C-alpha cells in the first residue's frame, strides 16, 4: 500500500517504504491481512463472557436478537463498554501502584537509586492528604503520603481522596448519581462482577458503573501516578527537545526506552551518563550514547530531561527498522509483540523488564527498585556491546524542535510569574473572547487512521479558531513531529486573539502536557480555572472539549469516560468506537449522559468536522456563561461616575 496513505509523516513514510522493499512486516501490513474485520465486533454486539456463547445479535437483519442467556443487544454492548473502561482503569492504576510502591520503598531507604526530587510538591500533596509536615523529614512525610496513596487502591471504606480537588458542584453530581469512586480495585472488580453472566443486565446501570470506574482512574489511580512521579522524578518544566526518527544518531549507541512507567526509563537515562559506560562506548567506536523515547515513556523523559522522542505508538517497529537501534528496553503497555519479529531482522537487543509484561523469545531483565541502577547499567552495557554488530543504517533526517513539559503549576507560572502564578490571565482572555476556549487532544496512533493526520489537522483547525490546545500521549508526539509544539512555527497558524495571548506569555498555542496518566493534569487545571472565577461553577460550565481521534487502547476509553463524567464533551473517531450496535447505548452516551453529568460522547472521524463539533460546544458554553454577549459601550457622565464611585 502507498505509504502516504499510512502516514502523514515523511519519516514514517520513508521507513514504511524501506520495510516494504525488504519484505518486513509492520502493524499496517498485519491490519491489511486482518481484513475484513468482524462487523459484529466493530459494533460491540458479540459476547463471549460465558461458555454458552460466544453469542452475537444481529442488529440489521432477522438473526438472533438475544444471546443464549437472553441478554439483549443493549446489555451486551454496555457490558463490553464497561469491561473496556475497567481494563483501561486497571492499566493506569496498576502503573500508579508500581510508582507508589517505589515511592514507599524510597522513603524507607530500600530503593537507594530513587529519591524525593520535588519536596515542595510533596509538602503540597501531604497538606492535601492531611499528613503532618512540621518538623518532619521529607522521607517521613513521603512514607506516610506513599502509604495513603497505596491504601487508595484497596481500602475497605471511603471515597477516592483526590476527588476533593473537583469543584463542589461536580462532587455533588457524583454523589447524587452514586458514582463517587471508592477504592480503585473495588470499582474494577465490581465492573467485572457486574458484567459477568447473569448479574447486571440493565444497560443504564452498567453504564453508570462505567462512570464510577472511570472516575476511579481519572480522579484516583492516574492522578496519583502523575503526583507521585512528579515528586519522585521532579515536576516537568517546559523545555526544548527534538522529536521524530531523525533523533537517532548514526555515530552513537542508540537506546530506546518504550512503555509507560518512568521507573525504568529514569534509570536508563542516568546510566547512559555513566563515565565508565561512555568510555566503553568510545572504545567500541561510537561517539556517545543516545537515549530516545517511544510512546508515553518518551513524553515523561522529554518533559523532565529533554530526552529526544523517536516517535509514537506506530513508530516502535519503524525505529528498529532504521537498523540504528542497539537496544530497546520496554516496560508496560502499548508494547507490540511484533517488536520481537522486527528486532530479529536486525542487531537490536530487545529486553522486557517487568514481571507483568513478558514476550516469548525476548530476553527478560527484571528491574527491581532495590537494584535499579545496577540493572540499568547492565542494560546500557549490553547496548554498548551491541554497537559493533550494527549493519547498514537508514535514519530519516526528519526531526522537529518541540517545547514539552507543561503542568498545571507551570502554566500558571507562565501566565502570572513566580509571585502571581494564577489562571486569572487565561480566564480573562477566555472571557474577553481572545481565546474562545480550551481543547484537549489526547491519545494514540492507530493503523486504521493515517498516522498523525487527525491529531494534527484537528489541532491546526482549533488553534486557527482561537482555541488553546492541551495535548498528551501519542497525540503530543504527532503534534511535535509537525512543529505544532514549536512556538515560532505554530503561532503562525494561530488565530489573532490566541496568538496575541500566546506571544505575550511566551507559549505555543499547543501545550504538551505529558503522558496518558497526565490527562489528570487537565482535570486539576480545569478545577483551578473554575475556582479562579468568571467561567462558571463547575467543569461542565467551561468552554472546553476533548478529542481522541486515533485511539487504540482501552485506556483511551477510560480517559474519555472520566472526562465525560467530569462534565466534558469528548469526540472519538466513529470507526474506533466499537459500541455503536445498541440504539439505547448510543442514545445514552451521546445525549442522555449529558443530563446526568453535563458531559457527553460524540463520534466523528473527520478531524475538520470534529473541530466543528468541539467549536459549537465551546460557543454553546460561552453563550451559557453570558460571555458572548456584546455589551454596549457606555460613556458615563461625570454625574454617573460619582454615583458609581460611591456605591
- For ligand MSK, the binding residues (CB under 6 A) are 260, 295-296, 312-313, 334, 443-444, 473-474, 515-516, 552-553, 555-556
Q: Residue 40 Cβ, how far from ligand SF4 at the closest point, in Å?
A: 12
Q: Which of 335, 375, 383 is nearest to 356 (CA)?
A: 335
Rg of the chain over Cα atoms, rounded to whole angstroms, equals 25
Q: Residue 53 Cβ, how far from ligand SF4 at the closest point, in Å?
A: 2
Q: Residue 391 Cβ, how far from ligand MSK at the closest point, in Å?
A: 29
Q: C-alpha cell of 129? A: 492528604
Closest CB to ligand MSK among 297 and 540?
A: 297
Closest CB to ligand MSK among 399 and 555?
A: 555
Residue 52 engages ligand SF4 in binding (rule: CB under 6 A): yes
Q: Which of 254, 255, 265 is nearest to 305 (CA)?
A: 265
Q: Residue 551 Cβ, how far from ligand MSK at the closest point, in Å?
A: 7
Whole-number Cα distances in Å, 129 to 152, 163, 523, 532: 11, 11, 18, 22
Among 20, 53, 239, 381, interactor with ligand SF4 by CB under 6 A = 53
Place of cell 503530543: 476
Q: Which does 553 bind (CB under 5 to 8 A by kind): ligand MSK, ligand SF4, none?
A: ligand MSK
Closest CB to ligand SF4 among 191 and 475?
A: 191
Residue 552 engages ligand SF4 in binding (rule: CB under 6 A): no
Distance CA(131)–CA(129), nearest Å, equals 6
Q: Residue 30 Cβ, how far from ligand MSK at the closest point, in Å?
A: 16
Q: Are 600 and 561 in contact (CB under 8 A)?
A: no
Q: Are 181 and 168 in contact (CB under 8 A)?
A: no
HSE toward the beta carbon, residue 130, CA cutoff 13 A? 4
Q: Which does 86 bind (CB under 5 to 8 A by kind): ligand MSK, ligand SF4, none?
A: none
Can you tell me whether residue 521 is helix, strand or coil?
A: helix
Q: C-alpha cell of 449? A: 487512521
Q: Residue 552 Cβ, how far from ligand SF4 at the closest point, in Å?
A: 25
Q: Are 45 and 54 in contact (CB under 8 A)?
A: no
Q: Which of 299, 395, 297, 404 is nearest to 354 (CA)?
A: 297
Closest CB to ligand SF4 among 50 and 627?
A: 50
Distance CA(204)–CA(592), nearest Å, equals 10
Largest CA distance in the chain: 87
Q: Residue 190 Cβ, how far from ligand MSK at the closest point, in Å?
A: 24
242 phi/psi in degrees, rounded to 5: -105, 150
DSSP label at residue 575: G
Closest CB to ligand MSK among 246 and 293?
A: 293
Q: C-alpha cell of 191? A: 465492573
Residue list 58-117, contact with ligand SF4 (CB under 6 A) = 67-69, 71, 76
Residue 55 engages ligand SF4 in binding (rule: CB under 6 A): yes
Closest CB to ligand MSK among 75 and 333?
A: 333
Residue 206 engages ligand SF4 in binding (rule: CB under 6 A): no
Closest CB to ligand SF4 among 68 and 340?
A: 68
Q: Are 431 and 626 in contact (CB under 8 A)?
A: no
Q: Residues 179-198 vs ligand SF4: string with x where CB under 6 A?
A: ------------------x-
Q: Are 473 and 442 in contact (CB under 8 A)?
A: yes
Q: Residue 138 Cβ, how far from ligand MSK at the closest point, in Å?
A: 30
Number of residues that bind ligand SF4 (CB under 6 A): 14
Among 16, 45, 47, 162, interactor with ligand SF4 by CB under 6 A = 47
Residue 48 engages ligand SF4 in binding (rule: CB under 6 A): yes
Q: Residue 211 Cβ, how far from ligand SF4 at the closest point, in Å?
A: 23
Q: C-alpha cell of 128? A: 492535601
86 phi/psi in degrees, rounded to 5: -65, -40
Q: Which does 449 bind (CB under 5 to 8 A by kind): ligand SF4, ligand MSK, none?
A: none
Q: Contact positions toward ligand SF4, by CB under 6 A?
A: 47-50, 52-55, 67-69, 71, 76, 197
Amino acid at each position: 500500500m502507498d505509504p502516504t496513505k499510512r502516514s502523514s509523516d515523511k519519516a514514517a513514510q520513508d521507513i514504511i517504504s524501506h520495510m516494504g522493499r525488504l519484505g518486513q512486516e509492520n502493524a499496517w501490513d498485519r491490519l491489511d491481512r486482518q481484513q475484513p474485520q468482524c462487523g459484529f465486533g466493530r459494533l460491540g454486539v458479540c459476547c463471549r463472557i460465558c461458555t454458552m456463547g460466544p453469542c452475537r445479535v444481529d442488529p440489521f437483519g432477522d438473526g438472533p436478537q438475544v444471546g443464549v442467556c437472553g441478554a439483549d443487544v443493549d446489555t451486551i454492548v454496555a457490558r463490553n463498554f464497561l469491561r473496556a473502561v475497567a481494563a483501561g482503569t486497571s492499566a493506569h492504576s496498576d502503573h500508579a501502584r508500581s510508582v507508589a510502591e517505589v515511592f514507599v520503598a524510597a522513603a524507607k531507604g530500600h530503593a537507594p537509586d530513587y529519591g524525593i526530587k520535588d519536596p515542595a510538591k510533596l509538602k503540597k500533596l501531604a497538606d492535601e492528604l492531611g499528613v503532618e509536615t512540621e518538623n518532619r523529614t521529607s522521607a517521613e512525610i513521603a512514607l506516610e503520603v506513599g502509604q495513603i496513596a497505596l491504601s487508595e487502591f484497596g481500602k475497605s471504606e471511603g471515597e477516592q481522596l483526590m476527588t476533593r480537588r473537583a469543584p463542589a458542584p461536580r462532587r455533588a453530581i457524583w454523589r447524587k448519581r452514586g458514582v463517587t469512586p471508592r477504592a480503585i480495585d473495588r470499582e474494577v472488580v465490581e465492573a467485572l462482577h457486574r458484567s459477568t453472566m447473569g448479574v447486571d443486565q440493565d444497560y443504564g446501570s452498567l453504564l453508570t458503573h462505567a462512570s464510577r470506574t472511570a472516575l476511579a482512574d481519572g480522579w484516583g489511580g492516574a492522578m496519583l501516578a502523575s503526583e507521585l512521579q512528579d515528586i519522585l522524578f521532579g515536576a516537568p518544566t517546559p523545555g526544548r527537545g527534538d522529536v521524530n526518527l531523525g533523533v537517532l544518531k548514526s555515530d552513537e549507541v542508540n537506546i530506546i526506552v518504550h512503555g509507560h512507567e518512568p521507573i525504568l526509563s529514569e534509570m536508563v537515562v542516568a546510566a547512559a551518563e555513566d563515565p565508565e559506560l561512555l568510555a566503553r562506548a568510545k572504545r567500541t567506536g561510537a561517539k556517545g550514547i543516545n537515549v530516545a523515547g517511544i510512546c508515553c515513556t518518551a513524553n515523561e523523559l522529554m518533559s523532565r530531561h529533554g530526552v529526544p522522542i523517536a516517535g509514537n505508538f506506530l513508530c516502535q517497529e519503524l525505529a528498529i527498522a532504521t537498523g540504528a537501534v542497539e537496544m530497546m528496553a520496554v516496560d508496560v503497555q502499548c508494547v507490540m509483540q511484533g517488536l520481537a519479529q522486527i528486532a530479529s531482522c536486525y542487531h537490536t537487543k530487545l529486553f522486557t523488564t517487568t514481571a507483568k509484561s513478558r514476550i516469548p523469545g525476548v530476553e527478560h531483565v527484571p528491574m527491581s527498585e532495590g537494584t535499579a541502577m545496577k540493572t540499568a547499567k547492565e542494560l546500557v552495557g549490553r547496548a554498548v556491546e551491541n554497537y559493533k554488530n550494527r549493519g547498514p543504517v537508514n535514519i530519516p533526517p526528519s526531526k522537529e524542535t518541540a517545547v514539552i513539559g507543561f503542568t498545571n503549576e507551570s502554566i500558571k507560572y507562565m501566565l502570572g510569574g513566580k509571585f502571581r502564578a494564577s489562571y486569572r490571565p487565561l480566564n480573562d482572555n477566555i472571557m474577553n473572547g481572545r481565546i474562545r476556549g480550551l481543547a484537549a487532544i489526547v491519545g494514540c496512533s492507530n493503523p486504521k487512521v493515517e498516522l498523525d493526520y487527525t491529531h494534527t489537522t484537528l489541532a491546526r483547525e482549533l488553534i486557527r479558531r482561537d482555541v488553546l490546545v492541551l495535548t498528551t500521549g501519542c497525540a503530543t508526539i504527532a503534534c511535535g513531529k509537525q512543529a505544532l509544539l514549536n512556538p515560532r512555527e505554530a503561532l503562525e497558524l494561530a488565530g489573532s486573539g490566541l496568538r496575541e495571548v500566546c506571544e505575550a506569555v511566551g507559549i505555543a498555542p499547543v501545550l504538551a502536557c505529558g503522558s496518558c496518566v497526565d490527562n489528570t493534569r487537565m482535570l486539576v487545571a480545569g478545577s483551578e480555572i473554575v475556582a479562579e472565577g468568571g467561567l462558571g461553577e463547575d467543569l461542565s460550565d467551561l468552554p472546553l472539549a476533548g478529542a481522541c481521534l486515533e485511539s487504540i487502547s482501552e485506556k483511551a476509553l477510560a480517559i474519555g469516560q472520566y472526562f465525560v463524567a467530569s462534565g466534558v464533551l469528548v469526540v472519538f473517531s466513529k470507526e474506533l468506537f466499537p459500541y455503536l450496535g445498541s440504539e439505547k447505548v448510543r442514545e445514552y452516551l451521546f445525549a442522555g449522559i449529558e443530563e446526568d453529568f453535563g458531559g457527553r460522547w460524540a463520534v466523528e472521524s473527520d478531524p475538520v468536522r470534529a473541530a466543528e463539533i468541539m467549536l459549537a460546544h465551546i460557543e454553546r458554553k460561552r453563550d451559557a456563561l453570558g460571555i458572548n454577549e456584546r455589551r454596549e459601550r457606555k460613556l458615563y457622565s461625570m454625574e454617573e461616575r460619582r454615583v458609581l464611585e460611591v456605591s
